[in-house]
Each structure stands twice: as C-alpha cells, then as structure tokens.
C-alpha cells in the first residue's frame, strides 16, 4: 500500500538499476529525458516478430501510446496529442520490454497483471501510472518527437519522445513485488462479495 513515506522523485532517463529499485509504490515520479512510445502493433512487431529497430532502450521507459501528430515545415513531426492507452492489452510483452529490451519500466494506465508484477520483481522493473485521458496536459510535457521507427505501422510506430517533467506519475507496481492494483482489486473483491450476499438474502 501507499505509505506516508511516499516521496516525490525527479528522474532523468536512462536509469541505472539501483534508481529503479529505489522506487516504492505510492511514490510520485516526474521524468525528463528520452522515453519510447509503443503499443499493440509495435510490440507485436518487435517482440513476436523480432523486428527490433536500432534504438537504445536500456534503462529507458516505454509509454503505451499512439499520438496524433502533424508535419512541420521542415518535415519534422510535431505532437498534436500524446496520451496513454490501456496497458493490460500489452501485458504479455512485459518480459520482452524489461528483460529482453532492457527498459527500466513501463508508463501506462490501468496496470498490469500478477504475472507482470513477478517479472518486474525478478528483473528490477517498475510500472508507473499516468492519468489516462489527460492527453492535453501530457502533450505539453513532450518537448519533441526526436525520431520514429517502424513507420509503416503509423500511428502505432515506435516513437522517440523527449519529455520534460512528464508527470505526475504514480509508482503503482514496484520492483519489490508490490502492486497498488492488486491491493485495490483485493479490497473491491471483498466489497463485491459483500454486495452479492445482500442479493442472496433478499
């Protein structure tokens, strides 16, 4: 559970393993530096089909996203809306992202499964929750789209974003086996059973 010792932490990517291990559930994190936008199609391509672009994902973060963009005068891509999509659809790629591609963590919304929690614990990764649907604010924290890879998947390419103080992000699954999603689900499961009992008593 989130504790009163929760901290506010500024991070610059890439992270070293020790920085990731220091993050505890409930901490509030603000990230600056390079993060990588990925989602359904790009993860299928990279992890299932092993078509991995030449990017240095080591110690970086994957953001579950596919933005709206426009082309500037010099052909550069300008963010129109960068938000976050539901992570659970990409749950089976956690090992690929953390263990194989070497990312420090995943930024998303809605959390990941128990299986992913175990992988984060074993490999020293974290899951950070952003506010879903709050893309207008998130877009203002994206300084630039530095590059794109697997462009044929547009808009589901691999996006190289430079962000400045992306946040607030909540550490909701840490590398010590804790998960706020598990805590909430366990409580709401009890509440569900309480409600179902009232039905059977009627």
Residues that bind another protein (CB under 8 A): 2, 26, 28, 41, 65-70, 80-86, 88-89, 109-111, 129, 131-140, 154-156, 168, 170, 172, 180-181, 183-185, 187-189, 191-192, 194-196, 199-200, 202
With beta carbons less than 8 A apart as the criterion, state whether 164 and 139 touch.
Answer: no
Closer CB to another protein, 1 or 54, in the complex:
1
Q: Nearest CA to 128 among 3, 5, 9?
A: 9
Kindly state the smallest distance separating residue 106's Cβ from another protein, in Å.
15
Q: CB of 58: closest distance to another protein in angstroms? A: 26
Q: d(Cα 188, Cα 161) in Å, to the nearest integer?
A: 36
Of 119 and 169, which CB lies nearer to another protein in the complex structure? Answer: 169
In angstroms, give the least distance from the CB of 102 to another protein.
26
2-11 burial string, b = 16+ CB within 10 Å, else e?
beeeeeebeb
Task: Tell the smallest beta-carbon distance from residue 87 to another protein (Å).
Answer: 9
Instruction: Pick between residue 37 and residue 125 the one whose CB is nearest to another protein.
Output: 37
- Minimal CA–CA distance to 160: which of 49, 72, 76? 76
Which is nearer to another protein, 16 or 192 (by Cβ)? 192
Report the nearest approach of another protein to the CB of residue 179 (Å): 10
Q: How far is the CB of 137 from another protein (least distance, A)?
A: 4
Residue 66 CA from chain centroid, whole number:
13
At 12, list the tokens: 């610059």
106 in Cβ contact with 62 (< 8 Å): yes
In terms of CB distance, is 50 or 70 closer to another protein? 70
In 1-124, DSSP assigns E strands to: 8-12, 28-38, 61-64, 68-71, 77-81, 105-108
- Which residue, 59 or 61, has its beta carbon nearer to another protein? 61
């Amino acid at each position: 559970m989130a504790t009163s010792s929760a901290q506010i932490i500024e991070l610059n990517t890439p992270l070293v393993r020790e920085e990731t291990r220091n993050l505890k559930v409930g901490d509030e994190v603000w990230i600056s530096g390079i993060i990588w936008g990925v989602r359904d199609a790009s993860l299928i391509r990279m992890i299932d089909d092993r078509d991995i672009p030449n990017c240095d994902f080591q110690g970086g973060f994957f953001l579950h996203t596919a933005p709206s963009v426009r082309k500037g005068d010099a052909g550069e891509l300008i963010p129109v809306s960068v938000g976050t999509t539901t992570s659970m659809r990409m749950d089976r790629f956690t090992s690929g992202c953390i263990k194989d591609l070497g990312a420090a963590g995943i930024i998303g919304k809605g959390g990941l499964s128990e299986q992913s929690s175990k992988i984060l614990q074993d490999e020293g990764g974290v899951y950070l929750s952003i506010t879903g649907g709050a893309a207008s604010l998130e877009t203002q924290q994206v300084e630039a789209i530095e590059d794109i890879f697997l462009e044929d998947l547009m808009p589901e390419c691999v996006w190289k974003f430079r962000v400045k103080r992306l946040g607030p992000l909540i550490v909701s699954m840490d590398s010590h086996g804790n998960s706020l999603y598990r805590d909430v689900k366990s409580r709401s499961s009890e509440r569900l059973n309480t409600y179902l009992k009232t039905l059977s008593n009627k």
